[in-house]
Amino acid sequence: MSNTPVLHSYFRSSCSWRVRVALALKQIQYKQKGVHLLNNGGEQHSDEYKSVNPMEQVPTLMIDGVSLTQSLPIIEYLEETRPDIYPLLPGDPKDRVRVRQIAEIINSGIQPVQNLSILQAVGPERKMQWGHDAIHKGFVAIEDLLKSYSSGKYCIGDKVTIADICLVPQVYNATRFKVDMKLFPTIARINAALEELPEFQKAHFTNQPDTPEELKKS
């Protein structure tokens, strides 16, 4: 049996995207198994996938003989088991809580409110405004926090952390929902710097095995 980790992922899922960045930073080679969230009513609802992840969500990472779900616990596991390969949490406790604070604003305060299942419940006429408002509100909070932290090149200082891993996919979602990023110059600056890093480029939704050809980068 192969010991290569397997990531069940959807190319445009922001939670899957986070884990792809963490895997790249931790230099972990893995296989991807695409789970299309729209085809045939959503492959995440199939009996086969429910046996892997009863919450019928992506990502799921199979690694080290265990099956892991929920993006932030997955990333924390990678950090705890591989702490010497690109540490994703600062050493200072105050900086660590700042990292987690930004990550959780995105993970629990923004992303679930504009997630696919919620948008489907809201309906096609309201989903764009709904998603826009959810992201805008969260970005107002994050922008203020980043300014108060006197951040460096990235969210917390000059090293990539879990906060940055969460930020980039959420900025992409902001563009999808037509959030005016000119209102959030600190977020925009940090995002631009992160997008220059090869690990973030590798994890980008346009570079995945299950990305439709028309969306792939040439």
For the domain with range 6-86, which CATH number is right: 3.40.50.2000, 2.70.50.60, 3.40.30.10, 2.60.40.10? 3.40.30.10
Starting at the edge strand found earlier in the chain, the sheet holding 66-69 runs 31-34, 6-9, 60-63, 66-69
pLDDT in the model for residue 66 = 96
- As annotated, the residues of the chain forming the CATH 1.20.1050.10 domain(s) are 93-200
* Cis, bond preceding 90 (omega within 30 deg of 0): no
- As annotated, the residues of the chain forming the CATH 3.40.30.10 domain(s) are 6-86
For the domain with range 93-200, which CATH number is right: 1.10.3720.10, 1.20.1050.10, 3.40.50.1980, 1.10.357.10? 1.20.1050.10
Assign 11 a pLDDT band (cuts: 50, 70, 90).
very high
- Mean pLDDT for the chain? 95
Could you tell me the two tokens for 15? 């939670």
CA 176 to chain centre: 15
pLDDT tens across 150-198, in order?
768 999 999 999 999 999 999 999 999 999 999 999 999 999 999 999 9
Rounded to an integer, what distance in angstroms lies between the CA atom of residue 180 and that of residue 190? 16
Given a cut of 70, is residue 72 above it in pLDDT? Answer: yes
pLDDT in the model for residue 45 = 92
